């Protein structure tokens, strides 16, 4: 379990262990000092995000953009706190923007009994997120060589990975977990689990040297090969 506020994964890129290594956010710092924050953890994680920022020598005024991989409470829970601290609004894929601004998770997979139960009782809420920008697949977010939005729906309608082209880092989102090895996300937490297993193959097609997971530690030893092997041997979980 990680115990430091921020763990370096590449030059100018840090992983923020928000619930041990199990839930992660990320700090991205450009050469000019501008900071992008990705994913804010659960509701109690907002303060940890700001502490991690301070631990790498940056502050709220350095933050120029905030991103979410998707609108689930373990990623967007601390977003309202970080928005207040930095005075910034969030960017998110357009298909999850309505859920983020409402503070409610998208529907769960209705083909599963547990998914139907979550839909009846409520599938997870969080403080409404101020959304200032929505993204589409392939869009480049300004940062160094560009952050490419990689739409990988299934876990949620607007679930997206972020590829840091210049740094060679892929922030995977929840398409694949790295918790005691690579594994699929929990089926009932997805909007469409089967779609998740299909769109995750996009992660094997990209060019990167570090896979930065939102659940579990990052991989820097041939991460694409590990992901390709997982996809080949786990076509359906």
Domain boundaries, the chain: 7-233
User: Which pLDDT value is given to residue 1?
Assistant: 45
Q: Is pTM, for the whole model, over 0.85?
A: yes
Rounded (10°) CA dihedral 190, 194, 196, 200: 160
Q: How would DSSP label each residue in 109-153?
A: -TTSHHHHHHHHH-S-B-PPP-EEEEE-TT-EESSTT-EEEEE-T
Tell me: the pLDDT tens digits for 8-29?
999 999 999 999 999 999 999 9
Calculate mean pLDDT across residues 77-93: 98
3-state secondary structure 30-60: CCCCCEEEECCCCHHHHHHHHHHHHHCCCCH
* Alpha-carbon gap, residue 104 to 164, rounded angstroms: 28
pLDDT > 70: percent of the chain = 98
Calculate mean pLDDT across residues 110-123: 79
Joined tokens for residue 131 = 């959304």
- Topology, domain 7-233: Metallo-beta-lactamase; Chain A (3.60.15)
Q: Identify the burial level of 85 via C-beta atoms within 10 angstroms of its C-beta, where 0-12 means exposed, 13-18 middle and 19 or more buried.
A: middle
* Alpha-carbon gap, residue 163 to 198, rounded angstroms: 19
Calculate mean pLDDT across residues 65-72: 98
The edge-to-edge listing of strands for the beta sheet with 7-10 is: 7-10, 13-19, 23-29, 35-38, 63-67, 90-93, 131-135
Identify whether the C-beta of residue 105 lies closer than 8 Å to the C-beta of residue 123. Answer: yes
* Alpha-carbon gap, residue 108 to 116, rounded angstroms: 7
């Amino acid at each position: 379990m990680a115990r430091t506020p921020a763990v370096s994964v590449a030059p100018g890129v840090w992983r923020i262990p928000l619930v041990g290594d199990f839930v992660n956010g990320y700090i991205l710092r450009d050469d000019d000092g501008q900071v992008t924050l990705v994913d804010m953890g659960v509701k109690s994680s907002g303060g940890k995000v700001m502490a991690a920022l301070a631990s790498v020598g940056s502050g709220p005024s350095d933050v120029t953009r905030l991103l979410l991989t998707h609108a689930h409470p373990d990623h967007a829970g601390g977003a309202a706190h970080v928005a207040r601290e930095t005075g910034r609004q969030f960017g998110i894929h357009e298909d999850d923007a309505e859920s983020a601004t409402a503070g409610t998770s998208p529907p769960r997979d209705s083909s599963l009994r547990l998914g139907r139960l979550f839909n009846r009782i409520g599938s997870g809420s969080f403080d409404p997120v101020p959304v200032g920008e929505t993204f589409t697949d392939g869009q480049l977010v300004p940062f160094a060589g560009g952050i490419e939005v990689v739409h990988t729906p299934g876990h949620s309608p607007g679930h997206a990975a972020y590829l840091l082209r210049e740094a060679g880092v892929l922030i995977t989102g929840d398409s694949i977990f790295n918790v005691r090895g690579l594994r699929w996300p929990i089926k009932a937490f997805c909007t469409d689990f089967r779609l998740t297993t299909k769109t995750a193959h996009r992660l094997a097609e990209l060019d990167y040297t570090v896979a930065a997971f939102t659940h579990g530690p990052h991989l820097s030893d041939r991460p694409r090969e590990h992901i390709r092997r997982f996809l080949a041997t786990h076509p359906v979980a």
